Amino acid sequence: MNYRAFIQEQIASIRETVGRGIAINAINGGENSSVVTVLGHRILGKGLKTVFVDSALMRKGEPERVVKIFAKMRIPVELVDARAEFLGALKGLTDPEEKRNAVTNTFYAKVFGRLVRETGAKFLLHGTILTDIEETVAGIKRQHNILAQIGIDPEKEYGYKVLEPLQTLRKDGVRKVAEILGLPSEITKRIPFPGPALATRIVGEVTEQRLEIVREATAIVEKELEKSRAFQYLAVLLNDKATGIRENRREFGQIIVVRCLNSVDARTATPTKLSWQKLNRICKRITSIKGVNRCLYDLTPKPPATIEYI
Ligand code: XMP
Alpha-carbon torsion (169, 103, 59, 308), positive or negative: negative
Q: Looking at residue 107, what DSSP letter applies?
A: I
Cβ < 6 Å from ligand 1: which residues? Answer: 132, 135, 141, 143-145, 192, 194-196, 200, 232, 266, 302, 306-308
d(CA 248, CA 309): 33
What is the reported pLDDT for 222? Answer: 97
pLDDT tens readout for residues 36-94: 999 999 999 999 999 999 999 999 999 999 999 999 999 999 999 999 999 999 999 99
With a cut of 50, list the residues of the chain below it in pLDDT.
none
Q: Is the peptide bond before 301 cis (omega within 30 degrees of 0)?
A: no
What is the reported pLDDT for 273? Answer: 98
What is the reported pLDDT for 195? Answer: 84
What is the reported pLDDT for 87? Answer: 98
Instruction: Supply the residue whose CA is at minimum distance from atom 24 of ligand 1.
Output: 192
What is the reported pLDDT for 142? Answer: 67
Q: Yes or no: say if 278 and 224 are a contact pair by the CB < 8 Å rule.
A: yes
E-strand stretches of the chain: 23-26, 48-54, 77-81, 123-125, 161-163, 232-246, 249-262, 270-271, 292-297
d(CA 48, CA 119): 10
What is the reported pLDDT for 141? Answer: 67
Query: Is 161 in a helix, a strand, or coil?
Result: strand
What spacing in Å lies between the alpha carbon of 270 and ligand 1's midpoint?
A: 15
Longest dimension (CA), the chain: 68
What is the reported pLDDT for 75? Answer: 96
What's this model's pTM, rounded to 2 decimal places? 0.90
